[in-house]
Structure 1
Amino acid sequence: MRKAYKNFIYKTLILAIVVSAPSCKKFVELGAPPTQILFADAFKTDASAQSVVLGLYSNNVTTSTIGNFTFLTGISADDLQYNSTDPIFQEFANNAITTTNASNANSVWGNSYSLIKNTNNAISGLTASTTLTPSVKDQLLGEAKFIRAFVYLYLVNLFGDVPLPLKDDYSAFENAALPRTSSAQVYAQIIKDLTEAQASLPVAYVGTFRGRINKYAATALLARVYLYQKDYANAELQATQVISSGVYSLPTPDVAFVNNSNEIIWQIGNLTGISLFGGNYVTVGATTIPAFSLSETTYRSFESVVDLRRTNWVAPKTVSGKVLYGISKFKLSSGTGNEYNVVLRFAEQYLIRAEARAQLNNLSGAKLDLDAIRTRAGLPGINATFNQAQMLAAVEQERKVELFGEWGHRWFDLKRTTRADAVLGSLKPTTWKSTSVLYPIPQSQILINNALTQNPGYN
């Protein structure tokens, strides 16, 4: 939002200079720099329009989501352990984030709204274009709307009510002064974007390695959104569409994250084949300490030493007498390899449907879904006599040991099930407060936009 505001001011100043300049017989028109194209021209051809949308993947999605939405939320929960001393990160680990925290202001809030600004520009340009091939236009609109919905889903879960800009840069001044929109309205927009994306995206992946969003990616994220909204019937319906598609499967845990895995629904590609996850999790050498490791609490929560997730996805090591539980879902941290940044996995869809079915009291159906996940992990099926409460507890446990270290699942699970106080209050008794379930609105943004209000507990 801050960048959008600056862009608007810059354009306004240029216009003012031109308008106030002495009258001339003829203005010299320089046009766009040779390495750039005008905004309208970007959406005249299929190739240029695709370049705009691919830019959303290659730059902003990676920088503004993977690290911020995974590592910061992981240490906010009982999921990840932060192994350094940076006070900015320690605030997240202690659930005592200050309103001036730079990562919260710039990396989480700032980068997210920068990406939303870019997607709004893309959606506006694509919608207005009359020269694109219809199928290409539909696909690109679907991808952009998915990305916007994805970012808003994280923002509304991190901050609660948030501003909801939906217009392009021509409304930058208006966007910069927006108040916070209710979470209900933000969720309504997320569902609208994903439903429209679902309708316009192809089933078949474009390109290789499932690096671009398809219809099932939109369906998978929509299933998550409905689960978070406690719309269990629709959560089950959407997850079932993905599960019954026949496109995906559950390979053994040791190969679940390689870039040709059939479990992957969507991943963000890179040039090296080395994921950001691997770079921050993998422990190389006897004395190397990773930036983030699995918390001991989560490691101890595996119910069996034969769980293939524990043996394949966790690598304990002792450094200077201290045991660290390295995360080895991704195996590589440097050089070149075959791992991209996995965003959506097939396993989550079984867990979504299991929880939705348990909430709808379809306990046998919930058991079938949990058993699919447990069978892949080399574990026996869930007890068939479990009641609803026991089945929901089993779902929480499976989500904890299946999705650790990925995209803040544990943080959001504790919040949406109102379990955060019970779990994190006991683990972090000196710093945890009930209001810690929301991050603070950055003070720098409140100073820029006086329509914003602060979350409880941070005034």
Structure 2
Amino acid sequence: MSDKTNTLKYITLALLLSNSLLFSSCEKFVDIDKAPNQLPAGDAFKEDGTATGAVLAMYTYYTTTGSLPYYTFAGGVEADDIQYSYTSSTPAINELQQSAVSTTNSTVTNYLWIYPYAVIRQANLAIEGLKASTTLTSSVQAQLLGEAYFFRAFNYFYLVNYFGAVPLVLSANVMETGSLPRTGTDSVWTQIISDLKAAEASLPAAYTGTLRTRVNKYAASALLARAYLYREDWQNAITYSTEVIGAGTYSLPTPDSAFVNVSNEVILQYGTTTGYSFLGNNYRTSSSAGIPNYYLYPATANAFETGDKRRTAWVDSVIAGGTTTYRINKYKLATATAGNEYNVILRLAEQYLIRAEANAQLKNLDAAAADLNAVRTRAGLSNTTAATQYALLAAIAKERRLELFGEFAHRWFDLKRTGKVNEVIGAIKSNWASTAALLPIPATEIAKNKALRQNDGY
């Protein structure tokens, strides 16, 4: 059975269960009569099919809308990564681009706070339901539980990086969770790592389907490697990135085929029914002014070395009003009905760069250079000339910028975690204040939950 068929088989059920599970979590507030085609939360996890539908509901948040594109766009425009062209008509994105974000910013409220917590609520319901079930096939139960842990960790990863301390919601009971205060970042990171370890232990190495559109063991390992890198736990970052690199499942294709949905570099991608990515749609669709919604910072476009195949494959340009605009060309399709591009979430090149940085931090310089060179070789470049720890770390940081641009706020998070954000962003934004490194807690959430406290500067 193909991935698309497998997904469509459950899509209606997933959406119905999504609504049903959300309703069930609010029953203590108000008695809601359920529609005939909805299941109580407890019943959803009695059979393999309905339990699968309940977990696939978490994937449906990322098919066309939801937080996933804004995980990329918000961090991209805050950093020196991507720019937005509709600044006058979409003030929420303009605020992010100017690093002058209001507490009522709709993008922050809806896509960076509400959507992630909606998926976390789904994950909590699934975790509780799956653990309590005694009737599921054991292999199905294990896989679904691993997926739920992964989704919870994935969304907390972005919440803690965008907001810092956030409420750590681990229960589906809204009576208990609706008034939680913010939990310190160390505790949030501990939970992310705990969830990913649980996911890795529960998930199979083999993919369900053929196009790597559902979470497997190595997707959990890949996100674990990233989490440990961010926490400066260098040895564990090496351990988990090595699990992925050494799996024998992934390789580095030429840059022009890295983002097709059959790419062997892909560790995890979320499928679409049309075969084009929402990132490609925003990077390739031109506005009335002749430029795409989001485009590449000129400094990044000009930072590639001569002969870098990524520059040729992943960047092109248009001239509008006498100005050259650099378009992101990782995804080639702006639209399609049966295209060959999905939304790539995790890929192998990042794992090489994680291991390179961790080894450089531990002064394993030859190992760091070897992994850096794996990425450079794929790009058609010669080996790095960096020979000292300082030079290697600088070279790896540059390589991350050129390899991961336009993907999931990598550049923004890198600047913050390495202490470079004030230096780099302060040089390009005259109004920059260090407190802008964290987003404001939405005003509507503080109004509903008096235990929440606002970030500094807002």
Instruction: Give the alignment's TM-score, normalised by structure 1.
Output: 0.92
Mapping 1:105-124, distance limit 5 Å: 105-124=109-128
Mapping 1:350-429, distance limit 5 Å: 350-383=352-385, 386-428=387-429
Partner of 2:66: helix, strand, or coil? helix
Which residue in the other structure is 1:453 paired with? 453
The answer as to whether partners of 1:142 and 1:197 remain within 8 angstroms in 2 is yes
Aligned pair partner of 2:30 in 13, 32, 47: 13
The answer as to whether partners of 1:425 and 1:432 remain within 8 angstroms in 2 is yes
Aligned pair partner of 1:37 in 35, 39, 60: 39
**Long gaps (5+) in structure 2:** 1-20
The answer as to whether partners of 1:42 and 1:52 remain within 8 angstroms in 2 is yes
Residue 32 of structure 1 and its aligned partner are, at CA, apart by 4.3
Which residue in the other structure is 2:157 paired with? 153
The answer as to whether partners of 1:60 and 1:111 remain within 8 angstroms in 2 is no
Which residue in the other structure is 1:177 paired with? 179
Which residue in the other structure is 2:85 paired with? 83
Partner of 2:165: helix, strand, or coil? coil
Instruction: Give the alignment's TM-score, normalised by structure 2.
Output: 0.92
Which residue in the other structure is 2:171 paired with? 167
Residue 334 of structure 1 and its aligned partner are, at CA, apart by 1.1
Distance in 2 between residues matched to 1:41 and 1:6, nearest whole Å: 14
Which residue in the other structure is 2:444 paired with? 444
Residue 59 of structure 1 and its aligned partner are, at CA, apart by 2.5
Which residue in the other structure is 1:72 paired with? 74
Aligned pair partner of 2:188 in 186, 191, 200: 186
Residue 420 of structure 1 and its aligned partner are, at CA, apart by 0.3
Which residue in the other structure is 1:21 paired with? none
Aligned residue pairs: how many? Answer: 436
Partner of 2:316: helix, strand, or coil? strand
Distance in 2 between residues matched to 1:8 and 1:139, nearest whole Å: 23
Superimposed CA distance per residue, residues 246-282 of structure 1 (whole angstroms, 9 cap, x where no aligned partner): 1000000000000000000000001000100110001
Which residue in the other structure is 1:272 paired with? 274
Residue 62 of structure 1 and its aligned partner are, at CA, apart by 5.8
Superimposed CA distance per residue, residues 84-112 of structure 1 (whole angstroms, 9 cap, x where no aligned partner): 12211111001110111111111111111
The answer as to whether partners of 1:5 and 1:176 remain within 8 angstroms in 2 is no
Partner of 1:217: helix, strand, or coil? helix
Identity of aligned residues (%): 51
**Long gaps (5+) in structure 1:** 16-30
Distance in 2 between residues matched to 1:222 and 1:285, nearest whole Å: 38
Partner of 1:157: helix, strand, or coil? helix
The answer as to whether partners of 1:357 and 1:366 remain within 8 angstroms in 2 is yes
Which residue in the other structure is 1:131 paired with? 135
Superimposed CA distance per residue, residues 300-345 of structure 1 (whole angstroms, 9 cap, x where no aligned partner): 22132x2111111001110111111000000001122100000001
Superimposed CA distance per residue, residues 183-222 of structure 1 (whole angstroms, 9 cap, x where no aligned partner): 0000111011000110010000001200000000000000
Q: Are 1:303 and 2:305 counterparts? A: yes
Equivalent AA in structure 2 for residue 12 of structure 1: F
Q: Are 1:200 and 2:202 counterparts? A: yes
The answer as to whether partners of 2:63 and 2:272 remain within 8 angstroms in 1 is no
Distance in 2 between residues matched to 1:255 and 1:434, nearest whole Å: 39
Distance in 2 between residues matched to 1:110 and 1:285, nearest whole Å: 29
Distance in 2 between residues matched to 1:63 and 1:335, nearest whole Å: 17
- Pairwise CA RMSD of aligned residues? 1.9
Distance in 2 between residues matched to 1:220 and 1:140, nearest whole Å: 18
